Structure 1
């Protein structure tokens, strides 16, 4: 598993800067697209290698965490690629996968098969998130075609959540590899949860885009002397 671990670490080191560039670059631009592609590929590798490594941890973990990553990154990527907003077989498969993951995670939490240092609470939260994602998949399937705003929102929140998995795993879960002076620092928590702040900003901006545009039209432009 040492080779798999090396690949996992390399993918994580690639995911963090590429995700940061994708978030900071102009949306829809070439840099955003290229950085997003690199981020997608590195997160796929992270998900696959995490699923392979978890059973060999001490104590053993569940490969469900890796599948969790793959689900969110894949559905976000497809939402970005389908510019016409159509939904189809992929969303049906994704919906079944999300609802299945929710059931598995909830079962592990109820039966005590899996646990976390913080108890079973995070497992129930993950199960609830999967259930919500699956229901949103079902909503997209029933709509058959998403509006541009719905498609972007679907891409945005899923990609940001996948990015949080990367930042949280590194800045909070791997503090032992960081300098001793920054371990436990609030800065690490800010960096870990930064994707949620970015997600909130863009979702609010997307939600009120028309209102912002109308406001700009009403602002008088000063006449040139």
Structure 2
């Protein structure tokens, strides 16, 4: 749990960042820089500490809505909107870097990255990841949003982009908003369909990952891919 730091800093967070770099700053100091100003009663550093203490963890803070942020004294609509924009931009930067330069070295590592990306989704999202011959990511595309089943998750669209990107192999993943990654019967049928379609097209089907709450299910690891 965070504690509000009330003692005066010898240097302002901005000055500390310029001298020592951003990695030397605490979460509270980094947030204070983004907030820019405090209130007539408390400093911006104290306001940052108050925010972090209220939400307890960075994960809870990351999920906080504009309305939830505005329940904190000193956080008005402008600061709440800026915080949400900052969080979303951070997520997009992380996703872009993974898409452009990422390489899939194993299901566990990639599932961990997807867990961060998909943790806020209230609905199931099916994504396809297209890889070159060295398992470097060419493209990652959201195929659709909704329940994964054999009628809506047609392999045709997934393979269309595989051909378009000249992918050598593909990996598909979807999340279970319930948090339980155990595959349903529909998940099993869909996996069999996409595996058969990939085999017919001469494209390697690497894995189907189901992302839960800080956990995942891999069809490859459970030897469910023929």
Q: Same fold (TM over 0.5)?
A: no
Which structure has more relative contact order (CA 8 Å, sep 6+)? It is: 1
Q: Which structure's residues are more often helix, by fraction?
A: 1
| TMscore range, shorter length | under 0.3
Mark the structure with the bigger radius of gyration.
2
TM-score (norm 1): 0.24
